[in-house]
Homo-oligomer: A and B are copies of this chain.
């Protein structure tokens, strides 16, 4: 019996509601001058009050010491084993732009690129062409027809796009054609298992015709394909947890992962956290699980902008009373991974985790900061265990055994 079998056998439908707020890349490292992290520096009276009433801890997204990408980090928060269920970049991208991927589809990322007359890569991103150009070129490529599979080409942003192959028996064990350096020719597509041979044939035919159609374009006179990936087979939230789950996120990839988990992805009127909370308020009666994703903290960390990250925590803090006014039965504030401004990248450091619920046993922690939370009642645990904790505190799990 795997852990999903256990949860499935214990979960019950009820009126209680769970809000999971993910501050992307929230965890940080101390500023060299003050010795305080971004989170510890921010003035967060509302989050501090929440912490004082909550049970807290820190989580490891995948394993201690492993730095996760966004896909594995979110799968873990949703209760999936992030190593067994790693989703390829192509499928994440396709779902993220809202393309209605289906079981059996294989998706890959397209990079529009610039090639010299010998077919060697001159610019792997075609000078980051405007998104409008990307849209026009994708419309042309979308009209290509190949044998063995239906195909769809959709623009993402700038030089990035997605291609989706649909048809019987398509595998995803194909290499990238991107040689990862300029001056080299694209790599030939090879299938690494029998099921992927038909995908390789369709993709080669697509590539030939794409280069023909783009030949007179500049600078995007060709494409590179990366991250072939099949539709992931994930047990759905509705089935495992018996939840009606919704996703409130503005950034494509997170909307995509939420869809794979069976969540309904809601529209948000703007880009700010206040806009996301507005959606939560507007749709609060329609679902019983809300995954609310805030991207900006991660972006500030990636930019190495300590001060901006501090201000973003303060921006989130101001909206916390609006969320609490909805009286969720469980409110979790956590991160998918750390993105310390000092490292300008995702990192392996454990993530803050605050669980507020009338059914929680509060601990002695009273302020919202990584080091304080690490001393909380939940200790240090695998992010993958978070869903069970939320379900338990929402009183949505029956007793195990007699």
A residues at B contact (CB < 8 Å): 1, 3, 6, 10, 27-30, 35, 37, 58, 62-73, 82-83, 86-89, 92, 227, 340, 343, 345-350, 359, 361-364, 370-371, 374-375, 377-381, 385, 388-393, 397-402
A62's partner among B340, B378, B400 (CB-CB below 8 A) is B400
Q: How far is the CA of A393 from the CA of B400 in the complex (A)?
A: 31
Nearest neighbor of A3 in chain B, beta-carbon distance: B63
Which of B347, B374, B381, B402 meets A88, CB within 8 Å? B402
Residue of B nearest to A35 (CB): B362
The answer to whether residues A371 and B378 also contact, given A65-B389, A71-B402, A402-B70 and a CB cut-off of 8 A, is no
A35 to B52, CA, bound (A): 12
- Are A359 and B69 in contact, CB atoms less than 8 angstroms apart? no
A85 (CB) vs chain B CBs: closest residue: B401
Chain B: minimal CB distance from A285 (Å): 26
Shortest C-beta distance, A24 to chain B (Å), equals 14
Chain B residues with Cβ below 8 Å from A92 are 402
Contact A363–B374 (Cβ < 8 Å): yes
> Could you jot down 12 A-B contacts, CB within 8 Å?
A6-B66, A28-B361, A37-B361, A62-B400, A65-B388, A65-B389, A67-B400, A68-B399, A92-B402, A348-B397, A363-B371, A371-B377
A218 smallest CB distance to B (angstroms): 30
Using A364-B375, A371-B361, A375-B375 as known contacts, say yes or no to A66 and B397 having CB atoms under 8 A apart. yes
Known: A401-B86, A402-B92. A65 touches B348 (CB 8 A): no
Inter-chain contacts of A27 with B (CB < 8 A):
361
Extra contacts, 8 of them, besides A67-B400, A68-B400, A68-B401 (Cβ < 8 A), are: A27-B361, A64-B385, A64-B388, A64-B392, A65-B390, A349-B361, A361-B370, A374-B379
**Once the chains bind, are B370 and A64 in contact (CB under 8 Å)?**
no
- Within 8 Å CB of A82, what residues of B? 400-401
Given A66-B6, A71-B401, A379:B377 Cβ within 8 A: no
State the CA gap A254–B296 with chains docked (Å): 49
Partner of A397, one of B67, B340, B402: B67
Of A35, A371, A378, A400, chain B has the most CB atoms within 10 Å of the CB of A400
